[in-house]
Each structure stands twice: as structure tokens, then as C-alpha cells.
């Protein structure tokens, strides 16, 4: 398996633009997680899905953030409109029966 | 709420031992984990300990668990510059949810 795949790896955008981050979990994993990592706050859980259903979105910072999982092999995290303080590395992770979470390589987002 | 807490930064000299500490609040945690994040990469599982164990050793790594105090530590002996990374503590709770700490950035100075 190729592991958790995220795209793009780097995204630079201007304030106010819409940003869409994509994730393909490991096949067969029924949990999918979105995290955000910054130097000041460390790793933060934004939202997670179980069997494509959002279970806990209490970590989503505000209404500008939304996440979807239309099927078992794809999820998106959207920020609209983006702001400079959204600059961070966004990680997707998935988990199956073994309970080990596998992380993707991350998307480094820079909002100018 | 149920939190996993760890300090954000640690700096040591090459050759010294590093000790990264973590506290958690869920007394029903079954497994506790240490993940490592190399620069520019995602998190990867480093080691884990079952909650009925006190200690686990793997080469230069020693994991200590004090279940009474809900305290987990990772000791790296003879720390090398290649050990510079961010180390994350995580716990698996009673409902099998995983909770991660914010990560400790270990800097090893030559």
C-alpha cells in the first residue's frame, strides 16, 4: 500500500482565496483524521470520520473550515476564505483495526 | 476534558540522555504511544507500551509508565543529532479513540 496520500504537498495562496486539501486514506481503514500543526500550538485534531461519517468536529477552528468524506477513499478539508493565520502543516491520518494511526506526509499551507 | 500534555521544546547536548515527558488524564487508557516526526515528514510510530507494563526498552529507547500518576516518559540514551525531531505522546482511550499531545521538539546540539 502507498500509505496515506495527501495533495498538494505545498500550497501558497492569497488571503481570501479558497483552499482545498485532499486526502486518500489507506485502503480498508475506517477512520480518517485531519490535524493541523503549527510551531506555537503543536498538533491539533480538527475533525475525524468513522465510516465516512463525521464523528467529532469540535476542533474545527471556525465556520471557514469544512471537511467532507464522500466515500471511503477520499476526503477534503476546505478553507474559505483563507487567512494568514491558517498557515500551517495539515496532516491527514487513517486507522484500521490495528489502532495504529498512519499519517500522510502533510500539506504545507502558506496564506499571504 | 481528557488531554495529553507535553512540553513543546527540549534541548540537549549530543551524547547526553534525553527525557521527554507526557501526562494524560484518561485512567482507562489501554495503550500509550510515542510517535516521531522527522523534519518535513509525517508522524511515524516509534514505540508503544501496554498499560499493564511499567517499562519497555528497545535499544537506546526506554519507555516508563507511571499509571498511578498518569505519567509517560521516553528516554533516549546517547542522543545523536539524528534524533532531532518532534516526539508525540498519544494514548488510546476506553473507546479506542487516539489522543495526541502537541509534540515536543527535541533539538540536539553538537
Give the DSSP per-residue string, A37-72: EETTTEEEEEEEEETTEEEE-TT--STTEEEEEEET
Q: Is the pLDDT of residue A60 over 80?
A: yes
How many angstroms away from the CA of B32 is the closest CA of chain A? 11
The Cα B92–Cα B110 span in angstroms is 36
For residues A11 and A109, the answer to whether their CB atoms sit within 8 Å is yes
pLDDT at res. B13: 97
Instruction: For B99, name the nearest residue in chain A, comparing CA atoms only.
Output: A45
What pLDDT band is residue A1 in, cutting at 50, 70 and 90?
A: low
- State the burial class of residue A38 (Cβ atoms within 10 Å of its Cβ: 0-12, 13-18, 19+): middle
Question: Are the beta carbons of B85 and B39 closer than 8 angstroms?
Answer: yes
Comparing CA positions, the residue from B107, B42, B44, B48 lying closest to residue B80 is B107
A101–B contact, CB cutoff 8 A = yes
- pLDDT given for residue B2 in this prediction: 55
Query: Residue B1, SS3?
Result: coil
pLDDT for B46 beyond 50: yes
Instruction: Work out the average pLDDT over A48-61.
Output: 93
Residue of B nearest to A92 (CA): B42
Interface of A with B in 4-33 (CB under 8 A): 4
pLDDT on residue B48? 92
Q: In this predicted model, which residue has the larger pLDDT, B56 or A40?
A: B56
- Chain B CB within 8 Å of residue A99 CB: yes
The per-residue pLDDT for A43 is 86
pLDDT of B47 strictly over 80: yes
pLDDT band at B1 (very low <50, low <70, confident <90, very high): very low
pLDDT tens digits, residue range B28-41? 888 999 999 998 88
Whether the predicted pLDDT of A36 surpasses 70: yes
CA geometry: angle A87, B90, A109, nearest 5 deg = 10
Amino acid at each position: 500500500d502507498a500509505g496515506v496520500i495527501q495533495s498538494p504537498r505545498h500550497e501558497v495562496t492569497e488571503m481570501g482565496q479558497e483552499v482545498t486539501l485532499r486526502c486518500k486514506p489507506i485502503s480498508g481503514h475506517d477512520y480518517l483524521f485531519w490535524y493541523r500543526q503549527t510551531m506555537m500550538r503543536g498538533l491539533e485534531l480538527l475533525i475525524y470520520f468513522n465510516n465516512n461519517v463525521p464523528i467529532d468536529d469540535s476542533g474545527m477552528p471556525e465556520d471557514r473550515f469544512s471537511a467532507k468524506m464522500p466515500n471511503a477513499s477520499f476526503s477534503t478539508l476546505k478553507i474559505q476564505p483563507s487567512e494568514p493565520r491558517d498557515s500551517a502543516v495539515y496532516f491527514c491520518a487513517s486507522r484500521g483495526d490495528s489502532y495504529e494511526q498512519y499519517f500522510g506526509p502533510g500539506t504545507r499551507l502558506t496564506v499571504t | 476534558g481528557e488531554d495529553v500534555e507535553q512540553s513543546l521544546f527540549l534541548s540537549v547536548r549530543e551524547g547526553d540522555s534525553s527525557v521527554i515527558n507526557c501526562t494524560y488524564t484518561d485512567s482507562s487508557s489501554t495503550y500509550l504511544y510515542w510517535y516521531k516526526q522527522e523534519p518535513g515528514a509525517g508522524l511515524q510510530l516509534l514505540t508503544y507500551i501496554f498499560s499493564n507494563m511499567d517499562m519497555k526498552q528497545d535499544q537506546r529507547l526506554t519507555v516508563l509508565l507511571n499509571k498511578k500518576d498518569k505519567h509517560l516518559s521516553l528516554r533516549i540514551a546517547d542522543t545523536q543529532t539524528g534524533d532531532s525531531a518532534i516526539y508525540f505522546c498519544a494514548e488510546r482511550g476506553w473507546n479506542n479513540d487516539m489522543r495526541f499531545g502537541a509534540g515536543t521538539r527535541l533539538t540536539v546540539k553538537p
